[in-house]
Amino acid sequence: MDFSTIANSGFMYILGALVALFITLLSVAFLTKAWRAGINKGIDRAVMMKVIRSSAVFTIVPSIAILLGLITMAGGLGVPLPWMRLSVIGSVQYELIAADSAARAAGLPELLLRNMTPEVFASIVIVMTVCILAGPLFNIFFLKGYLGKVKNMQQKDNTWGKLVVASLFMGMICTFLGNPIITIRQEPRAGWIAMLVMVVAAAVYAVCDYLVQNKKQKWLDGFMLPISMIAGMVTAGFIG
Amino acid sequence: MSGNKSSANTQAGLKSAYSESIHFVGRLWTGLAVLLLLAVPLAFCVYYQVLPDGGAILAGLLRVAVIYIPIGAIEAITFGPMLGGGASYLAFITGNLTNLKIPCAISALEQAKVESGSEEADILSTLSVAASALVTNLILILGVLMLIPLTPILQSPVLAPAFANVVPALFGALGYMFISRNWKLAILPLAFVLILFIVLPVGLANTISGGLIPVTVLITIAGARFLYKKKLV
């Protein structure tokens, strides 16, 4: 039997549907719990609704990019496995690197369905699964104690505690801001486009921020990030 | 006075009760997610009567685990305080952390004018990540159902460059959001990243870029400490 038939079988789609169902139940459970906690804490319902609405809107564009990643992975692993993998824990970058490394370790020249056997496929899935578990296992065993220590530090010196959390965000953002430099050195045109996209997104965000802060355009508040991202991406579409 | 004290105690009790219960629920769901993940290859092997190749698994683990197991643990340490308890459990189960869940939570807190680290922030981050996870789940389900008509559209030459630049677009906007509000904090990490990516051989720079976040975070914290001691922030 052609392995593509197995990778895209009804059985694999059923597994994918079960994973999607699990994620739905999980998300609804956390959403409900946080909503109730917010009500108990006296957080305004309108604020919570705004957070939910703006997060949902913000998520659309990156999710379409994730769907594109699923399509990219489908040539090597079929549709259901990437669907499961991108629904739980992973990201396109990790999944592709892990799957490709596992495939090469199993002796495949490249990650393509036509090269695959059920034994190699099973090996790849096991490697992809085991190697992604460190974060969730850390959370099960250590997150509670770790967050308690961070909170204690914040309570001891509130200004310094806030600076540490701001530094966490800033460190992550600055790392990503530097990435186009590497792309420029590898593929100058693609790198300069990425740099331009960053600048356009930042400029559009600045304009939106100005409109919200100074021109009382409060309706923009929940849409500043998606609008800026789309402006940057449209720029790439025009010149790419 | 005693009324205020009693109210404060009630608040503290509520805080502790929420914190306790979110960790219990988070651990429970994370445990279930780990079991579900492990069940997928097991179900495949049982259903298709396949015995996976132990040597290939070991070789694959040696290649992938040495990089990704430490990265996974370091990510949990780095991103946990940004997200708070509930959102951390949820984001680490549903994935796509740096390209979606963390920016989503950051943006939500920014709009709600709430500072990270408070219990209110924990609650709003959890709402944000849960809403985000539901939307991604829905889009992936719709995408899988409509994969054949959608594939040529999403891979069209016009849209391809746009989707190739989602991450630069996202971090351009987030970069403005954070740097405009705390530019002094950004000087050291930006200089570090730019110099590193310019000076290092390009292959090495590319290899380390994925795991660089914790290092940049430590450098940012060191810079912040210096600025704090000098009363510059």
Question: Which B positions 34-73 lie with beta carbon below 8 A of chain A?
Answer: 34, 36-38, 40-41, 43-45, 47-48, 50-53, 56-57, 59-65, 68-73
Whether A10 and A99 share a structural domain: yes
Is the predicted pLDDT of residue B15 greater than 70, yes or no?
Answer: no
Is the predicted pLDDT of residue A207 greater than 70, yes or no?
Answer: yes
CA distance B2 to chain A (A): 20
User: pLDDT at position A72, please?
Assistant: 82
**Highest mean pLDDT pick, A68-77, A91-100, B15-24, B218-227:** B218-227
At residue A42, φ and ψ (nearest 5 deg) are 85, 20
Q: Is residue A86 part of a domain?
A: yes
Write down the H helix ranges in B84-165. Answer: 85-94, 102-112, 119-145, 147-154, 160-163
Q: Is residue B141 part of a domain?
A: no
What SS3 class is residue B8?
helix
At residue A216, φ and ψ (nearest 5 deg) are 55, 30
Give contacts of A30 with chain B, Cβ < 8 Å.
Answer: 25, 29, 86, 89-90, 126, 129-130
Q: How many Å apart are CA A226 and CA B119, to the nearest integer?
A: 27
Minimum mean pLDDT among A43-52, A77-86, B13-22, B119-128: which range?
A: B13-22
Give contacts of A149 with chain B, Cβ < 8 Å.
Answer: none
User: pLDDT at position A1, please?
Assistant: 63
Q: Is residue A138 part of a domain?
A: no
Average pLDDT, integer, range A17-42: 96
Cα R_g (chain A), whole angstroms:
22
Whether A167 and A114 share a structural domain: no
Q: Using one digit for the tens of pLDDT, what is the confidence trace for B63-122?
A: 788 778 888 888 899 899 989 999 999 999 999 998 899 999 988 898 888 888 788 999
User: pLDDT at position B111, please?
Assistant: 85
Q: How many Å apart are CA A74 and CA A61, to the nearest integer?
A: 20
User: pLDDT at position A126, please?
Assistant: 94
Residues with Cβ within 8 Å of A69's Cβ and at least 6 positions away in sequence, in order, are A82, A86, A91, A92, A95, A96
Give contacts of B90 with chain A, Cβ < 8 Å.
Answer: 26-27, 30
CA distance to A48, B56, B190, B194, per residue, from B213 (Å): 30, 31, 12, 13
Whether A197 and A233 share a structural domain: yes
Q: How many domains does chain B contain in total?
A: 1
Instruction: Give CB contacts under 8 A, 24+ apart, made by B39-44.
Output: B40/A15, B40/A19, B40/A84, B40/A125, B40/A129, B41/A122, B41/A125, B41/A126, B41/A129, B43/A15, B44/A12, B44/A15, B44/A118, B44/A121, B44/A122, B44/A125
Q: Using one digit for the tens of pLDDT, what is the confidence trace for A52-96?
A: 999 999 999 999 989 988 988 888 899 999 999 999 887 777 888
Q: What is the token pair recorded at B87?
A: 């959102």
Average pLDDT, integer, range A115-136: 91
CA distance to A79, A81, A125, B83, B151, per residue, from A75 (Å): 8, 11, 15, 34, 12
Q: How many domains does chain A contain in total?
A: 2
Whether A53 and A115 share a structural domain: yes
Sequence letter at residue A181: I
Handedness of CA B11, B15, B16, B18 (dihedral sign): positive
Q: Is residue B225 part of a domain?
A: yes
Residues with Cβ within 8 Å of A156's Cβ and at least 6 positions away in sequence, in order, are none
pLDDT band of residue A218 (cuts 50, 70, 90) is: confident
Which residue's entry shows tokens 């949990």? Answer: B76
Range of the domain at A168: 158-239
Question: Containing H/E element for A141?
Answer: none
Whether A127 and A32 share a structural domain: yes
Q: How many Å apart are CA B85 and CA B133, to the nearest integer?
A: 16
Are the CB atoms for B120 and A207 separated by under 8 Å? no
Between these two residues, A24 and A116, which has the higher pLDDT value?
A: A24
What SS3 class is residue A112?
coil
pLDDT band of residue A145 (cuts 50, 70, 90) is: very high
Is the predicted pLDDT of residue B3 greater than 50, yes or no?
Answer: no
Sequence letter at residue A125: V
Q: Is residue A94 part of a domain?
A: yes
Is the predicted pLDDT of residue A45 greater than 70, yes or no?
Answer: yes
Q: What is the token pair recorded at A152?
A: 């204690």
Q: Is residue B43 part of a domain?
A: no
Q: Is residue A147 part of a domain?
A: no
Q: Using one digit for the tens of pLDDT, what is the confidence trace for A230-239?
A: 999 999 999 8
Whether A79 and A167 share a structural domain: no
User: pLDDT at position B9, please?
Assistant: 47
Range of the domain at B217: 182-233
Between these two residues, A10 and B10, which has the higher pLDDT value?
A: A10
Q: What is the dihedral of CA A172, A174, A176, A177, to 10 degrees?
A: 160
ipTM of the complex: 0.87
Q: Is residue A118 part of a domain?
A: yes
Is the predicted pLDDT of residue B6 greater than 80, yes or no?
Answer: no
CA distance A134 to chain B (A): 5
Which residue among B18, B34, B175 places its CB closest to the CB of A173? B175
Whether A125 and A164 share a structural domain: no
Is the predicted pLDDT of residue B2 greater than 70, yes or no?
Answer: no
Is the predicted pLDDT of residue B4 greater than 70, yes or no?
Answer: no
Q: What is the token pair recorded at B117?
A: 């680290």
Residues with Cβ within 8 Å of A200's Cβ and at least 6 positions away in sequence, in order, are A231, A232, A235, B169, B172
